[in-house]
Amino acid sequence: MIYIKANIPKELNYIDDELKAIYHSIDSVCFYIFKNRDQRNEFVELTKGINKTDRETIY
């Protein structure tokens, strides 16, 4: 495990984990928030193995 201390807004902690998709790159972390679990799962399936820029166009 690698631990990196960060100031994550409290509001993100209140959102159910099943409604979030979290991706990271070399210099950033991105939280995608969805209205329901099905939307999140569809997004995760569609974005498997693609780069950050392409993932952003799908969202």
Name the residue ranges covered by the structural domains of the chain: 10-58
Is the overall model pTM greater than 0.85, yes or no?
Answer: no
CA distances from 35 to 12, 15, 42 (A): 14, 10, 12
- The answer to whether 35 touches 8, Cβ cutoff 8 Å, is no
Q: What pLDDT shows up at residue 59?
A: 64
Q: What pLDDT shows up at residue 4?
A: 86
Q: What pLDDT shows up at residue 33?
A: 94
Q: What confidence tens digit (pLDDT) does each residue in 13-51 have? A: 999 999 999 888 788 888 999 999 999 999 889 888 887
Residue with tokens 């950033």: 28
Q: What pLDDT shows up at residue 50?
A: 83
Please check the confidence at residue 6 and state whether its pLDDT lies above 80.
Answer: yes
d(CA 42, CA 39): 5
HSE (side-chain half, CA atoms, 13 Å) at 53: 0
